[in-house]
Amino acid sequence: MTLTSGQDIWNDQKRAQAMFAELKVLKKQWEPVKNFAEEATALLEMVEAASEEEQGALAPDVDRLEKEWITIETQLYLSGEFDAQSCYLTVSGGAGGTEAQDWAAMLMRMYLRYCERQKWKTSIVEKTDGQEAGIKTATIHVEGEFAYGNLKCEKGTHRLVRLSPFNAKNLRQTSFALVEVLPELPESTEVDINPGDLRIDTYRSGGAGGQNVNKVESAIRITHIPSGIVVACQTERSQLQNRAQAMSILRAKLLEKERKEQAEAKSELKGARQSADFGQQIRSYVLHPYQMVKDLRTDVETSNTTGVLDGDIQPFIDAELKRETKK
């Protein structure tokens, strides 16, 4: 008997809803594979039974299926525990003041444009503007199927080389920005948080947003005292909604911290000298003296820097998904 056919499944509403949501995603992932297999099998039988002249007429169908398989194959790499979930993406400017903050704002726009291409819903959960330009940090809630599975490939440090628009001598400048991606955890995921370990502060939201946002202390900042993790949310109109959003991010951060510690412990037992780190540089964007974006993990590169900064980053994500699966 399957879990979904059990008589007591609806005793726990949240668990049941999470299970059926997962089944819906798995079905959506499996059906294209099933349809492709059936069509490919039928076409193979036709090719084997056809003459050379007839095989030539079937060539367009073979080419079409080969292209379809490239898309389906990429979807099969999205089989991680939380790959099908929505996510939180945070961009932070590195050392370098205004230059790094402007670069962080460019990256934030790149991801917003990418999500728009994917038809995912986005909302800025928290943002701290730079003093002169750009942003110090911003967190985006990305809502859509397999948002985490795709965007998790963007974790790490992104490096920009360009002629500085903020330097009077227009000198070449190197800037860095950090990207972090966390899954939006299903409500059935157990993460132990002791309320006594939390310090919750309220404050007024900054920036545009109307009378309520600027005059009411609706923004929430939660500090998890044992770990030192701090999360904030200021986009919702009510303090209750902001608190729920901030707690969702905190749960994801604590689970990630726990998993990272477990991975590091296993690496030490195996004798590994280094462990994966958010701070590792993953991609270089060179706008001067030549045009090139290169992923340092997969060696995928392109001279179409304008397209990449406008959200055309799927080739980098697909290559990293394949690399991680093979590894």
87-188+276-326 topology per CATH: Alpha-Beta Plaits (3.30.70)
Strand partners, 158: 177, 283
Strand partners, 175: 160
Average pLDDT in the chain: 85
Distance, in Å, from the CA atom of 290 to the CA atom of 284, rounded to the nearest integer, reads 12
Distance, in Å, from the CA atom of 19 to the CA atom of 21, rounded to the nearest integer, reads 5
Q: Which of 281, 289, 283, 304 is nearest to 162 (CA)?
A: 289
- pLDDT level of residue 302 (50, 70, 90 thresholds): very high
CB-count exposure of residue 210 (10 Å: 0-12, 13-18, 19+): exposed
Q: What is the signed CA dihedral for 60, 61, 63, 69, rounded to 10 degrees?
A: 160
Report domain extents, the chain: 3-76, 87-188+276-326, 195-270
Q: Tell me the CA distances in angstroms from 205 to 83, 96, 263, one per residue in order.
A: 32, 26, 37
pTM recorded for the entire structure: 0.79
Strand partners, 89: 140, 181
pLDDT in tens, 210-238: 444 444 578 999 999 999 999 999 888 78
Which range (55-59, 116-120, 148-152, 267-271) has the least confidence? 267-271
| Class of 195-270 in CATH | alpha beta
Q: Which of 243, 249, 276 is nearest to 87 (CA)?
A: 249
> Averaging pLDDT over each range in 21-30, 75-84, 103-112, 264-273, which range is the top one?
103-112
pLDDT in tens, 126-147: 999 998 899 999 999 999 989 9
Tell me if domain 87-188+276-326 and domain 195-270 are identical in fold: no
Assigned token pair, 159: 């490096």
pLDDT in tens, 98-112: 999 999 999 999 999
CB-count exposure of residue 273 (10 Å: 0-12, 13-18, 19+): exposed
